[in-house]
Amino acid sequence: MRSRMIKRIFLIALVCIGILIDPYKVFAISQADDAAVIGGGARPLGMGRAFVAISDDSDAPFINPAGIANLKRPQALTMFTSILNDVYYSEYNGALPSIYGTFAIGYITTGVNDIPYDDSGLLTNYYDDLFVLSYSSPLSRFFGYSKNVFVGLNYKLYSRGYTGGIDFYGTGMNFDLGLKYVLNQYLSFGLCQQNVLPASLGGVIRYNTGASEALVKQTKIGVAIKPIFFNGNILLAMDADLPSTSGRPMLAHLGGEWKVVKGLELRAGLDQSVDPSLESRAGWSPSFGLSLGALGLRIDYAYHPYYNNPELTTNYVSISYTGEPVFALKGGPTSDVDGSSGRGN
């Protein structure tokens, strides 16, 4: 028993070390950002993006792909928002649990219209699309133990460029690795590294101009707690985004969710974003959210101001549907910390 525990801890530590080592912390290398940095659907955004250790919805591939292994039912989710009142952002994803693990697919399309590109006032548009294929499974599927440890993998394809006027476009690919450890029904941990594939191995976006950009590596760790005092109706989470480049600060995320009654959940969070205005280079913003669900259908809303600027307040709305189980999930946990796995409301 003790030897199993040691092996388990060793394995987790190894994975963590491997993920946290970042060979790309260099100055002034252009790195392309990732549309997934927005943070999944309206539920995690309402919780201040503290969701790595929860990630139990079909939008998990955009946060921690290991989370979809918790799903027992197929689920689809879509989200819409407008960032800075200038950037359209739409997200679509779906997950299907099976005896071989949980498969998911995700698509984010975002862009900007009416960009001036010469002095005559001609305008063009910019698109930035992300396509994700995701797989997640309990680690026990491969090792015969650690059935409460889940791993996930994203394969991501990027496509971005201008629709006219400016001859510039590019495509690229990369991978995300995720880990989720459900210690018991009250405590779980999450770990995800986005864009793990180094540029030398093709983890870049290549443009038609011959230039290429490495994709920003993003490491997220988190913990989720379900206090025993509230009959399992309160869920608290905390995440940290570890800097992938030396110039960026670590960002923290705090969030909570209160299941008021079945079908109604309220959320609040504190979300940290990079902010060069501050000495710490990071500033907090509040976020709020609620969820209404019935008959498998759920609508989530998140209200998220940024930088204490009312003009930058962003509203997120996502709609999800959870269907009936299609396949029995082999090796799934009997329970998990968030208790909402495969929720069908």
Partner 1 sequence: MELDRKYMGINIKEDRNLRLNASVPYETATFSRRFHNRILFVIILLFFFCSTTVFAASSSSSYKISASSLSGGGGGVSSASYKLANLFTDLSLGYRVSSGYSLGEGFNRSNYIGATVFAPIITGITPSSGSSGAVIEVTNLAGANFSSGAIVKLTKSGATDIQGTNVVVVSGTKITCKFDLTGAVSGYWNVEVLNSDGRSGSLPSAFNVGYVAPTVTSITPVKGRNNEYVTITDLAGTNFRNGIKVSLTKTGELDITGENIIVGSTSKITCLFNLTGKSSGLWNVVVLNDDNQSGTLTSGFKIETLNLEVLSPVKSSKTVFNPSSTALNSSGPAVLEYQLSKDADVTVFIFNMRGEKVWEYKASAGTSGGSAGINQVSWDGITAFRAYASAGVYFVHVTTIENGAIKTISKTKIAVVK
Q: Which residues bind partner 1 (CB under 8 A)?
A: 27-33, 35, 37-38, 83-84, 86-87, 110, 112, 114-119, 124, 126, 128, 160, 162, 166, 168, 170, 205, 207, 209, 211-213, 245-248, 273-277, 281, 306-312, 314
Give CA–CA dist 187/57, Å, rounded: 18
Q: Which residues, at least 6 apart from 285, have a Cβ–Cβ distance to it below 8 Å?
A: 270, 271, 272, 273, 304, 305, 306, 307, 308
**How many Cα atoms sit within 13 Å of 114 on the Cβ side?**
4
Residue 32 Cβ vs partner 1, minimum distance, rounded to whole Å:
5
Residue 215 Cβ vs partner 1, minimum distance, rounded to whole Å:
9
Q: Kindly tell me which of 34 and 57 has the beta carbon lying closer to partner 1.
A: 34
Q: Which residues, at least 6 apart from 89, have a Cβ–Cβ distance to it below 8 Å?
A: 35, 38, 79, 80, 81, 82, 83, 108, 109, 110
Residue 308 Cβ vs partner 1, minimum distance, rounded to whole Å:
7
Q: Kindly tell me which of 304 and 343 has the beta carbon lying closer to partner 1.
A: 304
Q: Kindly tell me which of 227 and 276 has the beta carbon lying closer to partner 1.
A: 276
Residue 64 Cβ vs partner 1, minimum distance, rounded to whole Å:
18
Residue 28 Cβ vs partner 1, minimum distance, rounded to whole Å:
6
Map residue 70 onto helix, strand or coil: helix
Give CA–CA dist 284/275, Å, rounded: 9
Residue 125 Cβ vs partner 1, minimum distance, rounded to whole Å:
9
Q: Kindly tell me which of 118 and 262 has the beta carbon lying closer to partner 1.
A: 118
Residue 216 Cβ vs partner 1, minimum distance, rounded to whole Å:
8
Q: Kindly tell me which of 187 and 312 has the beta carbon lying closer to partner 1.
A: 312
Map residue 235 onto helix, strand or coil: strand
Q: Kindly tell me which of 232 and 249 has the beta carbon lying closer to partner 1.
A: 249
Q: Give CA separation, 49 vs 122, 124, 168, 187, 238, in Å.
A: 38, 32, 32, 18, 9
Q: Kindly tell me which of 36 and 54 has the beta carbon lying closer to partner 1.
A: 36
Question: Which alpha helices (DSSP H) does the chain contain, by range?
Answer: 2-20, 42-46, 140-143
Give the torsion through C-alpha atoms of 54, 60, 65, 70, to 10 deg: 60
Residue 118 Cβ vs partner 1, minimum distance, rounded to whole Å:
6
Running DSSP on this structure, what letter comes out for residue 249?
P
Q: Kindly tell me which of 114 and 324 has the beta carbon lying closer to partner 1.
A: 114
Degrees to nearest 5, angle at CA 180 with 175 and 182: 170
C-beta neighbour count of 103 within 10 angstroms: 17
